[in-house]
Structure 1
Amino acid sequence: MTDSILDTTPLDPRAQPLIAALTIEYERRYGDYFGEPAGQELLRYPAELFAPPHGAFLLLLRNGETIGGGAFKRYDGQTAELKRVWTRADLRRQGLARRILLELEARASRQGYRRLYLTTGFRQPEAANLYLDSGYAALFDTRLDPEAYGHLPFGKDLREPGQTSALEDLRAAHPGAVAG
């Protein structure tokens, strides 16, 4: 069994299993909860946003087969926004998403970003737990029902992990987001 990370784009045919599985998962978890088919979210961003020097798109391959992936794009001059962190459903709970997350963090840091920002859906508790367990600060009140937010924002200072003072503007960008 050989795993490798591939830097590529969402247009790469090897990315299609990731995109297809995400579409199915989003549709299953959310349907049209947000006012449109959940799979539409995947079409929201042009592929070039995930290309260097401002972005990245990674696939995790096992023996040449796509088993995971993730991406980031520029959010602002010091912040990259993570998108599409995913692992194949039958291979979850093996640390693959954490590996992808670490790869994305390293690339974002090398590309000059100081912070990472992301949102995940309220019906994805395993993703929220991954981010919390990986040192991301919840930019919302974790005592409230996550459905009250819809999208759950998280942030991480790459230079000083654990510091949250550099994340306050990200917290302020979300109405109703308060210290968690």
Structure 2
Amino acid sequence: MTYEIIDTTPLDPIAQPLLDALSLEYATRYREFRKDSAASATEEMLRYPPALFAPPEGAFIVVVREGRTVGGGAFKRYDAVTAELKRIWTHASERRQGLARRVVEELEARALRQGYQRVYLTTGFRQPEAAGLYASSGYEELFDRAIAPEIHFRLPFGKDLLTPGAIDSLNDLRRAEPLGQKP
């Protein structure tokens, strides 16, 4: 099957299926950990202005197959040399086929072209598939695995794009304490 990668913005109607599905997925996966998980998910999806995901400091892509949005993701500036991946998503019918990995690779390539040297991201502790994807894509876990994942709540990862596998360049991204749930 052929996929089309489209550079766009979160405001493009073609991005709406991605944003709606992510919101539903966040609300569902974290229902037992947040009083109003639907409102929390909506708040998360609106947390960043769309302009942050536009070049020259960001990017937003969707993956389309046969006219249907089936995946996508974005990044924004984290600091002068670091892009922060956000909104990585694959439609349920497309999972376990390498599409999410392709989205990550596409975003990494754009980040390099835009001058970033490394990538940072966080994923939720109830998203083991995402954590597995990042670990198998060369991302370093920037959290203490000896602490229960639900204490961390958000699991940070980093990757040096110039020297994949290097970890010293990621030390300033490590947190002294877990990225626990907001009150």
Whether these two folds match at TM > 0.5 is yes
Asked if the contact 1:9/1:51 (under 8 Å) is kept, the reply is yes
- 8 Å CA contact retained: 1:120, 1:128: yes
**Equivalence for 1:125:** 128
**Matches for 1:83-94 after TM superposition, within 5 Å:** 83-94=86-97
Kept in 2: contact 1:31–1:38 (CA 8 A): no
Q: Does residue 1:100 correspond to 2:103, yes or no?
A: yes
Cα distance in 1 for partners of 2:81, 2:171 equals 13
Deviation at 1:8, TM superposition (A): 0.1
1:24 maps to: 24
Comparing 37-46 and 11-20, the one that deviates more: 37-46
Deviation at 1:91, TM superposition (A): 1.3
Q: CA deviation at 1:175?
A: 1.9
Partner SS for 2:23: helix
Q: CA deviation at 1:117?
A: 0.2
Q: Distance in 1 between matches of 2:78 and 2:170?
A: 13
Identity %: 62
For the pair 1:168 / 2:168, whether they are aligned, the reply is no
Is structure 2 residue 152 aligned with structure 1 residue 149? yes
Quick one: distance in 2 between partners of 1:143 and 1:28?
26
Kept in 2, the 8 Å contact 1:120–1:151? The answer is yes
Can you list the C-alpha shifts for 1:9-34, whole angstroms capped at 9, x where unaligned? 00000000001100110000113735
Query: Aligned partners of 1:94, 1:141: CA distance in 2, in Å?
Result: 30
- SS of the aligned residue for 1:66 comes to strand
Counterpart of 1:68, as a letter, is G
Q: Is the contact between residue 32 and residue 38 of structure 1 (CA under 8 Å) also seen in structure 2?
A: no
Aligned residues: 176
Q: CA RMSD in A?
A: 1.5
Gap regions ≥5 residues in structure 2: none
Q: Which amino acid letter does the alignment assign opposite residue 4 of structure 1?
A: E
4+ residue runs over 4 A deviation: none
Contact 1:77 1:113 (C-alpha < 8 Å) held by counterparts: yes
Q: Report what 2:68 is aligned to.
A: 65
User: In structure 1, how many angstroms separate the alpha carbons of the residues matched to 2:165 and 2:130?
Assistant: 19
Question: What per-residue deviation string (whole Å, max 9, x for no partner) do you get for residues 31-84 of structure 1?
Answer: 373565223101000000000000000001102210000000000000000000
Letter in 2 for 1:149: H
2:26 is the alignment partner of 1:3: no
What letter matches 2:93 in structure 1? D
* Partner Cα distance (1:137, 1:37) in 2: 28
| SS of residue paired to 2:103 | helix
1:2 Cα deviation from its structure 2 partner: 2.5
Match of 2:12 in 1: 12
Instruction: Find 1:115's aligned residue among 88, 113, 118.
Output: 118
- Structure 2 vs 1, CA of residues 34 and 158 (structure 1 numbering), >3 Å: closer, same or farther? farther
